[in-house]
Amino acid sequence: MSSDTIQVVQDTSTNPPLVKLNNIDLQYANIDLVNSTDLYDANGIIPMDIPVPTNKNFLIRVVNNDQTPLTLPNNDTLTIYLSSDLSYMQSCDISIDSSTSATQNKKLQFYINYSNGQSNSLPVLTQVLPTLDLPIYYNTYTNSLNSSYNWSRFDFEVDLSNNISLSLNYILSVPLTGLTQQILNNSIKRGDTFLVKDLIVGTSSSSNFSGQYKVSSVNTNNLYINFDVSSNSLLVTYAKTNITNGVSVNLNSGLIAKPYIDLNKGYKYRITNINVSATASISDRYLIETY
C-alpha cells in the first residue's frame, strides 16, 4: 500500500512481476507560516515554539504584516525558538518577508533549545541568528509602496568627503554620491525605509550604529538623506553624551568601517546540524547559510 512517502508500483515488464517502491518524500516535513502579529499583543511579546520534526527538514516562513505602532516593554523583540536541537544532517530553512501593507518593524530573534549533551544539564534557549530588522514595504507619508519594494538595489554610495552628522533631535544626516539633485528629489521620499549598514564608530571602543531607519527629510541641494534614528537607544545615548551647545557631531572622524545604505527585501537562512557529536558546542554543531 502506498503512503505519503512511498509509492508502490507493480512492474509487469518482467516475469514474474516485480514490486517497486518509489520514494516520493517531499522536501519538507512541515511548513510553518508565522505572521509577525502572532508574536505579540498589547502586553508584550508572545514567544512562539516551533516543534522540530523527527529527522526531516522543515521550513519556517515569517511574514511581517504589522501595522500597529507599539513599543514593546523592556525593549523586547519578537521571538521564535525551535523546541529542540536539530538531528545530525537535519536542516531548518527560514524565509522572512513582508506583506505590502506592513508599516512597523518590531525586530525578530531566533533561538534553539540547545542541549550540550552533558549529563544532568538542561537545554538552554540560545540565539542562533542576529537580531533581524523586519522589511517594511509601505510608506505611510506617500500612502504607496516604498523604495524597498519597488527597487532591486540601492546603487548610490555614501559620500565620505562630506560629514555624516548626528543632531540632538536624533537625526542622522548621510551625504550621497552617484546621483543628481533631480534623481534624489524624484526617488527617495520621506517615510521610505532603508538599512544603514556598517556604521561603526569609535577607535578605542567601537559602537555599531547600523540599523533600519525611516527617512525624515531629503536635502536635494546638498544630496543628503536625513534619517530619524530615535528608535536606536545607542545613538540616542551617543547624541546626549557627545553633542554640546546643540551643535551636530561629525561621525566621520571615528569611523572604522565604510557605511552603506541598502534595501531590506527580506532574508533566507538555512540552519543545518553538521556535527554528529552530542556534546558539540552550538557554533560547531550548526552551519548557518544565507541565500
Q: Where are the domains of the chain?
A: 24-135+266-290, 141-262
Predicted confidence at residue 25, as pLDDT, reads 63
Predicted confidence at residue 283, as pLDDT, reads 97
pTM given for the model:
0.88
Please state the three-class secondary structure of the chain as a single string: CCCCCEEEEEECCCCCCEEEEEECCCCCCEEEEEEHHHHEECCEECCEEECCCCCCCEEEEEEECCCCCCCCHHHCCEEEEECCCCCCCCEEEEEEEECCCCCCCCCEEEEEEECCCCCCCCCEEEECCCCECCCCCEECCCCEECHHHHCCCCCCEECCCCCCEECCCCEEEEEEECCCHHHHHHHCCCCCEEEEECCEECCCCCEECCEEEEEEEEECCCCEEEEECCCCHHHHHHHHHHCCCCCCEECHHHECCCCEEECCCCEEEEEEECCCCCCCCHHHHEEEEEC
Predicted confidence at residue 246, as pLDDT, reads 83
Predicted confidence at residue 227, as pLDDT, reads 98
* Residues of the chain predicted below pLDDT 50: 23
Predicted confidence at residue 12, as pLDDT, reads 72
Predicted confidence at residue 1, as pLDDT, reads 60
Kindly report, residue by residue over 14-53, the tens digit of the pLDDT. Answer: 667 766 655 456 689 999 999 999 999 999 999 999 999 9
